[in-house]
Amino acid sequence: MIRDLARYFLKTETHPVTVPLSILKSLAVSARFGRLTGVRYNTVLRIRGTFEYGRGDLLGLMSNRLGSAGNPPTEIHVPRGGTLVLGDGVRLAKGVQLYCAGTIRIGNNTFINTCTRIYAFKHIRIGNECGISWNVQILDSNFHYFPGIEITRSVEIGDRVWIGSGAMIMKGVRIGDGSVVAAGSVITKDVPPGCLVAGVPGRIIRENVVWSHDRFD
Give Dmax over CA atoms of the chain in angstroms.
68
Q: Which is nearer to ligand COA, 19 or 167 (CB)?
A: 167
Among 56, 185, 187, 191, binds ligand COA (CB under 6 A): 185
Enumerate residues 6+ apart whose C-beta is below 8 A from 217.
none
Q: From the CB of 216, what's the least distance to ligand COA, in Å?
A: 11
- Site residues for ligand COA, 41-70, by CB under 6 A, read none
Residue 201 binding ligand COA, by CB under 6 A: no
Among 184, 186, 193, 204, binds ligand COA (CB under 6 A): 184
Residue 168 binding ligand COA, by CB under 6 A: no
Enumerate residues 6+ apart whose C-beta is below 8 A from 146.
none
Among 38, 158, 164, 194, binds ligand COA (CB under 6 A): 164
Q: Which is nearer to ligand COA, 139 or 198 (CB)?
A: 198
Among 45, 100, 182, 191, binds ligand COA (CB under 6 A): 182
Distance of CA 78 to the CA centre of its chain: 14
Q: From the CB of 149, what's the least distance to ligand COA, in Å?
A: 27
Distances (CA, A) of 13 to 18, 48, 115, 135: 7, 30, 18, 20
Q: Which is nearer to ligand COA, 121 or 162 (CB)?
A: 162
E strands of 54-191, at which residues? 64-66, 74-78, 83-86, 91-92, 97-100, 103-106, 111-112, 117-120, 123-126, 131-132, 137-139, 155-157, 162-163, 168-169, 174-175, 180-181, 186-187
Residue 116 binding ligand COA, by CB under 6 A: no
Site for ligand COA, rule CB under 6 A: 131, 133, 164-165, 180, 182-185, 196, 198-199, 205
